[in-house]
Amino acid sequence: MARTRQSGHGPVLRLAVADDHRLLPEAVRALLEPDADIEIAGVAYQADRILTLLGEVRPDLLLLDPHMPGLDGLALIDTLRASHPAVAVVLLTESPDPSLTNAALARGAKGVILKGSDPAALAPALREAAHSGQSEIARELSVSRATVKVRLRQARERFDARVEALRALVDRAIFGNDYDWL
């Protein structure tokens, strides 16, 4: 989904930021400046400028404050899915709200970042949203892909242990010992 222009780190991701606080996009720009693979292509400070901005700059990602005045962030996600389906939407919000997170993910947002998050987590989260988003399992659980991988590995280990215990029981029942026929 990233544009064809290359940086030293691969394709450059074009980011649009929509937030009514003028300082926030500048802070995001400063945080991302060392990351040559993410550039801020445009900023919207008013809710009614977001769709126009997306049409003008054609970003890969939209970092969206869903609580901008005059904006229903969830309804905008629906509109974006219809008018700009290639744009990955990541919400940027002040406080955790599980109902907002679940509704946003269900409507197609790729993630939610808290404004109080570790600044070093911003660029990796944006890359993840742009390149693969969350897997369906991660979306369903509202956890990261890494967490899903760990949980799947743990489930596989538990499954393997249960299969081994069942195999030993069958061996004992049939052969009277652990014959290891599997």
- Strand 13-18 and strand 38-44: the pairing is parallel
Cβ(11)–Cβ(4) below 8 Å: yes
Q: What is the pLDDT of residue 152?
A: 65
Of 71, 76, 129, the C-alpha closest to 104 is 76
The amino acid at residue 68 is M
- Predicted TM-score of the model (pTM): 0.68
Q: What is the pLDDT of residue 14?
A: 93
Highest mean pLDDT among 27-31, 116-120, 173-177: 27-31
Q: What is the pLDDT of residue 136?
A: 44
Locate the DSSP E strands across 36-99. Answer: 38-44, 61-64, 88-93
How many Å apart are CA 48 and CA 31, to the nearest integer?
26
Question: Where in the sequence of the chain do the CATH 3.40.50.2300 domains occur?
Answer: 6-135
Using 50, 70 and 90 to split pLDDT, how confident is the model at 45? very high
How many Å apart are CA 105 and CA 173, to the nearest integer?
50
How many Å apart are CA 104 and CA 73, to the nearest integer?
8
Is residue 14 classed as helix, strand or coil in its secondary structure? strand
Encode pLDDT of 86-96 as tens digits. Answer: 899 998 888 77
Encode pLDDT of 109-127 as tens digits. Answer: 888 888 888 888 888 888 8
How many Å apart are CA 175 and CA 123, to the nearest integer?
59
Cβ(144)–Cβ(117) below 8 Å: no
Using 50, 70 and 90 to split pLDDT, how confident is the model at 169? confident
How many Å apart are CA 145 and CA 34, to the nearest integer?
25
Cβ(45)–Cβ(70) below 8 Å: no
Q: Is the pLDDT of residue 143 over 90?
A: no
CATH, range 6-135: 3.40.50.2300
Distances (CA, A) of 132 to 15, 109, 164: 16, 12, 35
